[in-house]
Amino acid sequence: MIWQYSVAGMLTLLAAVLHAIAGERTNIQHLLATDMLLTEKIELRATWHFGSIGLAFAGIGLLAVGITDQPAVGPWTGYAVAITLGSFALVWIICTVISDRRLLLRVPQWILLLAIALLGWWGAATP
């Protein structure tokens, strides 16, 4: 078992569930209540859930590789997920700092994304 992948996979699956359910109840429902055009609401809602789906599949992949201890595609699974989620964290940090850096710890999703990225990288680098 590659514990770093297993933990990263579980955290990513948790993030996917939180993103889909909590995000729909908070962010998306507020968005739907605005006077924004319906087409824009649909695009933003769909894009939101693209993120949920991406997190879910990344979590499944990491967990599968972590449990089997036989990565079918070598360490590139971990590196690919680490680079992707690390990039998500970086974008989150940049957008928050540009908007209002004081909110960095009030919207801390980047911390979870960064932790998953580091675990994925560590798992990939472990011989």
What gap in Å lies between CA 8 and CA 60, rounded to an integer? Answer: 10
Q: Which residue has the tokens 């924004």?
A: 36
Check pLDDT > 70 for residue 2. yes
pLDDT, tens digit, 9 for 90 and up, residues 65-101: 888 876 556 678 788 889 999 999 999 999 999 999 8
What gap in Å lies between CA 119 and CA 5, rounded to an integer? Answer: 7
pLDDT at 65: 84
Q: Delimit the domains of the chain by residue range.
A: 3-125
Both tokens of 76, joined, read: 């590139």
* Closest to 85 measured CA to CA, from 110, 65, 107, 104: 110
DSSP 3-state of 80: helix
Query: For 33, which DSSP code?
Result: T
pLDDT, tens digit, 9 for 90 and up, residues 16-58: 999 999 999 988 999 889 999 999 999 999 999 999 999 999 9
Q: Which residue has the tokens 């595609």?
A: 73
Model-level pTM? 0.80
